[in-house]
Chain A
Amino acid sequence: MIQVCSLKKQFNNIMVLDDVNIDFNTKEVTCILGPSGAGKSTFLRCLNLLEEPTAGKILYNGKNTLDENFDVRQLREDVGMVFQHFNLFPLKSVVENVMLALVLVKKMPKKMAREKALEMLKKVGLSDKADVMPHTLSGGQQQRVAIARALAMEPKMLLFDEPTSALDPELVGDVLAVMRNLAKEGMTMIVVTHEMGFAKEVADRILFMADGNVVEDASPDVFFTNPNTQRAQAFLSRFIA
């Protein structure tokens, strides 16, 4: 579905992604692990072109996303994203948050968009919060609204950048439960996370990133029991301890 070839990303002379080559397949749940500063966020943001790669190619369904006449907007409609800090729209109610892009991007009539939004909110367990403002919700609820907002667009793939890192520990579970359900329904997902339990249980595939590259690409069984590299071993030992 997405093929990444020799991807490089530089920020003022610092090579943040250095020659990344990787393919992502439909219906696969990939968890990206790795130390902070490894380039995980930058990599994820390159996939929906929130960051413009310095060099290399990203093919989406065979088409080069960096071509001048590639429809970036369509790609972003297809590839949803959930952020660490939710990025909800603060002046819009919960249901309006979910509806907005349906109305503006999918040109859906308001009434239909609202129905669709309510359906999505039901899916993340927040039907009763439709008409409140986002700031009245807990972090975990806000993140579920963000997931509903992304889901409403009927994406073919979802990117998650540390979706539970900003949450109080007791709120993490609800968000992970929603993500687990999505995985079960066959959603293609790429999840940057530090939730090892989730990665072990839900991921079909683990990518371990360090210093701007993917240094391991393995099934969770292999990665968690028998990692290849020392870096991964060191990284894991900190979580087991």
Chain B
Amino acid sequence: MFDWSSIPIVFPKIVDGLQMTILIAVLGILAGFIIGVCAGYVRTTKSKALSSIAAFYVWIIRSTPIIVQALYIYFVIPRMLDISFNREIAGILCISINASAYISEIVRGALNEVPKGQWEAGYSLGMNKFQILFHLIFPPAFKSMLPALGNQFIITIKDTAILTVIGVAEMTYQAGQYAATSFNLVESYTLLALFYLVVISILTIVLSALERKMGVDRR
């Protein structure tokens, strides 16, 4: 039933894919964090225009499946703008845009949770808006959003699997290619699932250690 001899062949392929998966997930979450912080922050400010733009952006992303976003970014946008992306760039764009929408909601919630008294204390000491944001608002907000951010990172890693539809050579793509040509579907996909399990489990352990170290209280 289970063709053990296929394992040594598919294993290195999935390891190749793993590197791509991690590369895209890490770059995607970093870019997603930066965009998400900006989008989440402007939604807590009084600027109606910026806040509406950010809300519109979040609405679009949250209301369409990530697979459609991937297809759109890779096939439609290049055609409209008459440019071309390579698959990996399109993949990173897709992952970061998608993550940023969810992260912006996390950021918005965390920023709103910081008591208004922190702003008032900062202002009453003569601090300016940026000093207050960077020294008094972001640190506690970041601390309180750490569990949700970690969770988003886990979701993002799993989301990279859909990039297989635009041919990005991440883990799922590699396993799928091998399965299709060798017909060892059971072996390929079982090993693939095990890879995700191990990667996510390691990440989960690292994240909770990090949270403990930072004294985050998980509710």
Contact between B125 and A153 (Cβ–Cβ < 8 Å)?
yes
Q: Is A83 an interface residue (CB 8 A)?
A: yes
Q: Which chain A positions have C-beta within 8 A of B47?
A: none
Q: Does A22 contact B (CB under 8 A)?
A: no
- Residues 58-81 (chain A) with a chain B CB within 8 angstroms: 73-74, 76-77, 79-81
Is B124's CB under 8 angstroms from A48's CB? yes
B118 & A91 in contact (Cβ 8 Å cutoff): no
B140 contact set on A, CB distance < 8 A: 90-91
Identify the stretch in B11-19, B55-63, B127-135 within 8 Å (CB) of chain A at 4 or more residues.
B127-135
**Complex Cα–Cα for A79 and B126 (A):** 9
CB distance from A93 to the nearest CB of B (A): 13
Instruction: Indicate the member of A74, A91, A150 with the most B CB atoms within 10 Å.
Output: A91
Residues A153 and B126 in contact, CB atoms below 8 Å apart? yes
- Mask of B110-133 contacts with A, CB within 8 angstroms, 1/0: 000001011011011111100100
Cβ 8 A contact of A89, one of B123, B126, B136: B136
Q: Which residues of B contact A105 (CB under 8 A)?
A: 125-127, 131
Interface size class of B (residues with CB under 8 A): 10 to 19
A240 in the interface, Cβ–Cβ < 8 Å?
no
- Confirm or deny: A104 has a beta carbon within 8 angstroms of a beta carbon on chain B: yes
* Residue total for A at the interface (Cβ-Cβ under 8 A): 24
Contacts of A77 in B (CB 8 A): 125-126
Are B117 and A85 in contact, CB atoms less than 8 angstroms apart?
yes
Whether A100 sits at the interface, judged by CB under 8 Å, is yes
* A73 cross-chain contacts in B, Cβ below 8 A: 126, 128
Indicate if A149 sits at the interface (CB-CB under 8 A): yes
Complex contact A80–B121 (CB within 8 A): no
Complex contacts, B87 vs chain A, CB 8 Å: none
Give, as a whole number of angstroms, the nearest-CB distance from A34 to chain B.
Answer: 21
Whether the pair B118, A83 counts as a contact (CB closer than 8 A) is: no
| B78 close to chain A: CB less than 8 A | no
- A80 and B121 alpha carbons, distance in the complex (Å): 9
Whether a CB of chain A sits under 8 angstroms from the CB of B139 is yes
**Are B118 and A87 neighbours in the complex by a CB distance under 8 Å?**
yes
Chain B facing A: main interface SS: helix
Contact assessment for A83 and B127 in the assembled complex, using a CB-CB cutoff below 8 Å: no
Could you say which residues of chain B place their CB within 8 Å of the CB of A153? Answer: 125-126
How far is the CB of A83 from the nearest CB of chain B, in Å? 6
Judge whether A87 and B120 touch: CB under 8 Å.
yes
| A83-B120 in contact given A89-B136, A100-B135 (Cβ < 8 Å) | yes
Contact indicator A76/B118 (Cβ below 8 Å): no
Flag whether B143 is at the interface (Cβ < 8 A).
yes
Q: Smallest CB–CB gap between A97 and chain B, Å?
A: 9
Residue in chain B with minimal CB distance to A146: B121
For A87, the chain B residues whose CB sits under 8 A away are: 115, 117-118, 120-121
Residues of B within 8 A of A100 (CB): 125, 135
* A residues 79-130 touching B (CB-CB < 8 Å): 79-81, 83, 85, 87-91, 100-101, 104-105
Q: Residue on B with the closest CB to A79?
A: B124
Determine if B120 and A76 form an interchain contact, defined as CB atoms under 8 angstroms apart: no
Seen from chain B, the residues whose Cβ lies within 8 Å of a Cβ on chain A are 115, 117-118, 120-121, 123-128, 131, 135-136, 139-140, 143
19 contacts between A and B (CB under 8 A): A48-B123, A50-B124, A74-B126, A76-B123, A76-B125, A77-B125, A81-B124, A83-B117, A87-B115, A87-B117, A87-B118, A88-B121, A91-B139, A101-B126, A101-B127, A146-B121, A149-B125, A150-B125, A153-B126
13 more A-B residue pairs beyond the given contacts A87-B118, A101-B126, with a C-beta to C-beta distance below 8 A? A48-B124, A50-B123, A73-B126, A81-B124, A85-B117, A87-B115, A87-B121, A89-B118, A89-B121, A89-B136, A100-B135, A104-B135, A153-B125
List 10 A-B pairs, minimum CB-CB distance, nearest first. Answer: A77-B126, A101-B125, A87-B117, A87-B121, A81-B124, A105-B126, A76-B126, A104-B131, A73-B126, A91-B139
